[in-house]
Amino acid sequence: MLQPWAIALVSLAYLGALFGIAYWADKRADAGRSVIANPLVYALSLSVYATSWTFYGSVGRAASDGVGFLPIYIGPMLAAILFWVVLRKIVRISKANRITSIADFVGSRYGKSGLLAGLVTVIAVVGIVPYISLQLKAVSASFGLLTRYPDVATPAHATVPILADNAFWVAIVLAAFAILFGARHLDAAERHEGLVAAIAFESLVKLAAFLAVGVFVTFGVFGGFGDLFGHAAASARIAPLLTPFGKVSYADWTWLVALSMLAVVFLPRQFQVAVVENVDEDHLRQASWMFPTYLLAINLFVLPIAVAGLIRFSAGGVDADTFVLALPMAEGHQWLALFVFIGGLSAATGMVIVETVALSTMVSNDLVMPLLLRYGALGVSRRADLSSFLLAIRRGAIVAVLLLGYGYFRFAGEAYALVAIGLISFAAVAQFAPVILGGLYWKGGTRAGALAGLAAGFAVWLYTLLLPSLARSGWIAPSFVEQGPWGVAWLKPYALFGLAGLDTITHSLLLSLLANAGAYVLVSVLGRPGPVEQAQAVAFVDAMRRDAGPIRVWRGETTVEELRVLLGRFLGRARADDALAEYARGRGVSPDALAAEPGLVEHAERSLAGAIGSASARVMVASVVREEALGLEQVMDILDETSQVIAYSRELEDKKRALEAATAELRAANERLRELDRMKDDFVSTVSHELRTPLTSIRAFAEILADNPDTPADKRQKFIGVILKETERLTRLINQILDLAKIESGRAEWHTEALDLGELVREAEGATDALFREKSVRLSTEVAAGLPKVDADRDRLMQVMLNLLSNSVKFCEPETGLVRVRVACEPGRVRVDVVDNGVGVAPEHHERIFEKFRQVGDTLTDRPQGTGLGLPISRQIVRHLGGELWVESEAGRGATFSFTLPTTGSGRREA
Amino acid sequence: MSKRVLIADDEANIVASLEFLMEQAGFEVRVATNGREALEVAQSFVPDLVLLDVMMPEKNGYEVCQSLRQNAALAQVKIVMLSAKGRDIEVAKGLELGADAYVTKPFSTRDLVAKVREMLGA
């Protein structure tokens, strides 16, 4: 059943299915209905982090170090928390600058330096080669194991001719698929929707396979977790593995966690899926928890499987790295074994494909193209159409990387467990951390500093990890490791400068990062950044600030046609036109009306960067734009201008707002003045009317009497009576008007003293006694005992009381009329109520009666003879004394006029 | 036949003085003390001239003037507005609404009687 050809067939079928998914996803993307634009797919694509290292290697590590396999998964989980901060910034910058790889990112940050990008590419390729070889090793070993079913013993290593080596053919097949997935055509933005979809799918497959075997082992072979770990604890050999840190020291845990935190972002394949392929920044939010959840799930059964393997194969002879496959095979479940194999294959191919695609992009954009452009080999600069040439370079790079991986596997891979090989690669990509993290948060990092840092770190890594690994396999004399080169002890690769006693990885990491960061900072601080570097530094570090816009540093002359030709050479005519049309759309002009302005040049540069990398793009565009070399002065001038413009427009905004506020205020004040004017006019008009009315009667009757001497005596008396009465009325009116005017304008004289209100009320009653008796209205008084004194002007207050009393008499019916006066004490004040049972005042008139000249009772036939000013004056007086006067009443049910005055010492309010 | 005069004012004393003056001048007099009453009496009495106060309750003099002018039957009535309000705009408004004369208070009795006589052609 498990014949080699059958397994191969199933494998090819699976890869074919994967490709089918990729193809379908690409078609959907072209139709505008992307399948990968959701956070779940994004998080699953990040899970390409779990390769056959996870699938096979973790179990192998767990079998020797217990829980010590875990740190490299804890790192990414911790890093996920920082996704939203750090990774989002990287994504945003990359989108804005059309960055296509990690080399592009670094090169772009330090002034679009081709040299830097090239160095990063070299480090990446060399660093990842071991990692790829580890995948090849895993696939070929598992393939071999499966074909030997049911024999699970690991055979001794035999040197096989290349063409008969499984691993070689695996490499070839993977190269072919990688080309199919990632180098079918050139995309201006380097996006591979199909690839991402396929990766997401394979993440699911490997998770399912691992969980399947995990469940099988834990619950099928043993009786659950308790049973399994019970057996483990009982065994002296296995029990030590179950201690909290396993067999790995605390210090090493810390280092491994830190290392994997860096790896999950800086591995080329991780950068590719996390940054370059990212569709929407917001996906990072969900990925922050989805990705750790995945890692948790896939690591759940690692320890159980390792323990089960140790128990089951206690006789030895089975490589712990193969437990995952060996266990189902030993139990006779070949279908499960096949599924597990596919899972492992999935994990390996996912890594290889994405990694090689990312590396090939870097190699083509940042290594080969710049070299060819610089040295003009193959007449590159004269070729009209380079797109197919670029594609060929990409494909060649994929094949080359895979062959290098196979080479390393063949010459060095056998001596190491999978995990150890992987950690070597991790340490390599860790070298990117200082320059990238520094570049994101420190404007002082310079190109020279970055070059120095990377070079130093890489050199140390080579010396302390890569070369010794070759020694272990016999390609370099072992004495190199044991005694140091030429017998110099302090140059021993695993104990450089006498730093002994550390794990090899830790040792290498410590020294390489020290050299890296040290050189980076030192050289940066000692040197000066060039103009483009500075501009890029600002653009990168300030990328998250909302008002940071792209800084235009292109000055020079070119034509749209030249740009079109340039773009056409690298992108093909169709895509070149598309790019120009895109810019025209953004500016709202038609493509024919485009002018060769700095914005267009920048857009062209960015579009080109997608195909050949930003360093090369810059060079090409510069060759077309006849540009003056920008000195620092000019760049600073541009920056200054921009910031000045921004500051100036902000000032204008503020001024405008202040002006608007002032205008509104003025308008309101104007309104108020107009109203006051109107009110004043009305007042004057009303007063004059009120004064002229009695005058009219006086004059009229005086004239009548004068012109008609023989008027009968009774009529004469009557007329004279009217004259006298109206004169009085007039006088009263004038007095009251003047009084009110004085009180309102604050020019009245007030003589305040402490008064007993009860006493005053009685006095007022006495004064109005005649009035009450005349109309036969009864008056009663209730004064509370122990009244506190109030501060008031005696005469004025008397005026108020008289006014209220005379009003109440006026509105009462004779005989039945009753007026009650109550004086009572309230907290902080004294209150007086004048209650009558007269006609009352309807609620709608309650405020009107306090208005000047208003008199209620117009509907009465018996029009009251008043001035209409009594109540307004009373209210003004009471208010001036710190109290309030008001009425409670309903039509037909009498009225209660009340006022309060604050007691002595309880504070006065000036009305 | 004597001419008929309607006096409309809410101040009793003023009404009394005007009544005396008009009767002495030989006119037949009716009295109204608010705007609504003024219109009612005008309808039934059909005066030749109306002495119309402006500041009255229920309908002020302007409104009464307008209503009188809109009434075809009373189109020929002479209207003399009396008011303590003497500002230009108020005078203009009265005349615009159709008053034949506008007299400010306090008025001269002699002048007023002379004017009425002139208007009534008596």
**CB of A195 within 8 A of CB of A357?**
yes
Whole-angstrom distance, CA of residue B102 vs CA of residue B84: 11
**Do the chains contact at B109 and A696, CB–CB below 8 Å?**
no
Chain A residue closest to B57 (CA)? A858
pLDDT number for residue A861: 37
**Res A860 pLDDT > 50:** no
Whole-angstrom distance, CA of residue A771 vs CA of residue A181: 113
Whole-angstrom distance, CA of residue A206 vs CA of residue A598: 49
The answer for residues whose C-beta is within 8 angstroms of residue A412's C-beta and 6 or more apart is: A130, A133, A469, A470, A472, A473, A475
**Res A500 pLDDT > 70:** no
**Res A697 pLDDT > 60:** yes
Query: Which of A685, A688, A691, A696 has the most B C-beta neighbours within 10 Å, making it the best mutation to test the interface with B?
Result: A696
Looking at chain A, which residues constitute the CATH 1.20.1730.10 domain(s)? 4-430
Per-range mean pLDDT, top range of A31-45, A157-171, A382-396: A31-45
Partners of B114 on chain A (C-beta within 8 Å) are none
**Do the chains contact at A693 and B105, CB–CB below 8 Å?**
yes
pLDDT number for residue A626: 63
Show which of residues 3-32 on chain B sit within 8 Å of chain A, judged by CB atoms: 10-14, 16-18, 20-21, 24
Mean pLDDT of A603-631: 73
Instruction: Indicate the residue type of A375.
Output: Y
**Do the chains contact at B18 and A699, CB–CB below 8 Å?**
no
Confidence (pTM):
0.57
Looking at chain A, which residues constitute the CATH 1.10.287.130 domain(s)? 631-748
How do strand A895-902 and strand A829-836 relate by DSSP bridges? antiparallel
**Res A683 pLDDT > 80:** no
Measured in angstroms, the CA of B112 and the nearest CA of chain A are apart by 10
Measured in angstroms, the CA of B30 and the nearest CA of chain A are apart by 18
pLDDT number for residue A662: 93
**Res A2 pLDDT > 70:** no
**Res A751 pLDDT > 60:** yes
Whole-angstrom distance, CA of residue A65 vs CA of residue A896: 97
DSSP state letters, A554-605: --EE--HHHHHHHHHHHH-HHHHHHHHHHHHHHHTS-GGG----HHHHHHHH
Q: Which residue has the higher pLDDT, A472 or B88?
A: B88
Q: How confident is the model at residue A732 (pLDDT cuts 50, 70, 90)?
A: confident
Query: What pLDDT, in 10s, does the model give residues A194-244?
Result: 889 999 999 999 999 999 999 998 888 888 888 888 887 777 777 777 776
Q: What share of residues in chain A are helix, strand, coil (percent, to 5)? A: 70, 5, 25
Domain A631-748 top-level CATH class:
mainly alpha
Three-state SS for A142? Answer: helix
Half-sphere exposure of A563 (CA within 13 A, CB side): 29
**Do the chains contact at B105 and A695, CB–CB below 8 Å?**
yes
Mean pLDDT of A903-908: 65
**Do the chains contact at B106 and A700, CB–CB below 8 Å?**
yes
The answer for residues whose C-beta is within 8 angstroms of residue B64's C-beta and 6 or more apart is: B8, B35, B38, B39, B52, B56
Return the DSSP state at A903.
B
Structure tokens at A149: 């079913």
Query: What pLDDT, in 10s, does the model give residues A267-320?
Result: 999 999 999 888 888 888 888 889 999 999 999 889 888 888 888 887 777 788
Q: How confident is the model at residue A635 (pLDDT cuts 50, 70, 90)?
A: low
The answer for residues whose C-beta is within 8 angstroms of residue A162's C-beta and 6 or more apart is: A168, A410
Longest dimension (CA), chain A: 160
Partners of A708 on chain B (C-beta within 8 Å) are 24
**Res A156 pLDDT > 60:** no
Query: What pLDDT, in 10s, does the model give residues A526-554?
Result: 888 777 788 788 888 887 775 544 555 56
Strand partners, A792: A753
Mean pLDDT of A645-670: 90
The answer for residues whose C-beta is within 8 angstroms of residue A341's C-beta and 6 or more apart is: A7, A11, A142, A143, A146, A325
pLDDT number for residue A631: 59
**Res A391 pLDDT > 90:** no
Query: What pLDDT, in 10s, does the model give residues A861-879?
Result: 344 456 678 888 999 999 9
- Tell me whether the omega of the peptide bond preceding residue B106 falls within 30 degrees of 0, making it cis: yes
**CB of A305 within 8 A of CB of A232?**
no
Q: How confident is the model at residue A245 (pLDDT cuts 50, 70, 90)?
A: low
Whole-angstrom distance, CA of residue A601 vs CA of residue A587: 14
Strand partners, A753: A792
**Do the chains contact at B85 and A700, CB–CB below 8 Å?**
no
**CB of A751 within 8 A of CB of A794?**
yes
CATH 3.40.50.300 fits A4-430, yes or no: no
Three-state SS for A900? Answer: strand
Topology of A751-902 in CATH?
Heat Shock Protein 90 (3.30.565)
Measured in angstroms, the CA of B84 and the nearest CA of chain A are apart by 5
What's the CA angle centered on A753, arms A752 and A756, to 5 degrees? Answer: 125
Chain A residue closest to B11 (CA)? A693
Angle at which helices A193-215 and A4-30 cross, to 10°:
140
Whole-angstrom distance, CA of residue A346 vs CA of residue A351: 9
pLDDT number for residue A254: 85
Angle at which helices A88-97 and A432-441 cross, to 10°:
80
**Do the chains contact at B17 and A726, CB–CB below 8 Å?**
no
Measured in angstroms, the CA of A889 and the nearest CA of chain B are apart by 24
Query: What pLDDT, in 10s, does the model give residues B72-101?
Result: 888 889 999 998 877 778 888 888 888 899
Place of tokens 């002890």: A489
Return the DSSP state at A148.
T
Beta strands in A28-179 (DSSP E): none
Three-state SS for A824? Answer: strand
Query: What pLDDT, in 10s, does the model give residues A564-593?
Result: 888 887 777 888 888 888 888 887 878 777
**Alpha-carbon torsion (B20, B21, B24, B26), positive or negative:** negative
Mean pLDDT of A758-771: 88
pLDDT number for residue A887: 92
Whole-angstrom distance, CA of residue A643 vs CA of residue A641: 5
Measured in angstroms, the CA of A685 and the nearest CA of chain B are apart by 7
**CB of A354 within 8 A of CB of A598?**
no
Looking at chain A, which residues constitute the CATH 3.30.565.10 domain(s)? 751-902
Partners of A685 on chain B (C-beta within 8 Å) are 85, 87
pLDDT number for residue A859: 38
User: In the predicted model, what is the mean pLDDT of chain A?
Assistant: 83
Report chain B (122 residues): mean pLDDT per 10 consecutive residues.
90 92 92 92 91 88 90 87 82 88 90 92 75
Chain A touched by B43 (CB under 8 Å): no
Three-state SS for A868? Answer: coil
Whole-angstrom distance, CA of residue A245 vs CA of residue A230: 19
Q: How many CB pairs under 8 A join A and B?
A: 62
**CB of A289 within 8 A of CB of A29?**
no
Instruction: Determine what percent of chain A is predicted with pLDDT higher than 70.
Output: 86
**Do the chains contact at B85 and A701, CB–CB below 8 Å?**
no
Structure tokens at A32: 């505008």
pLDDT number for residue A910: 46
Ramachandran class of A280: left when φ > 0, alpha when ψ lies in -120 to 50, beta otherwise:
beta
**Alpha-carbon torsion (B13, B15, B17, B20), positive or negative:** negative
**Do the chains contact at A700 and B11, CB–CB below 8 Å?**
no
How do strand A626-627 and strand B78-83 relate by DSSP bridges? unpaired
Whole-angstrom distance, CA of residue A75 vs CA of residue A261: 4
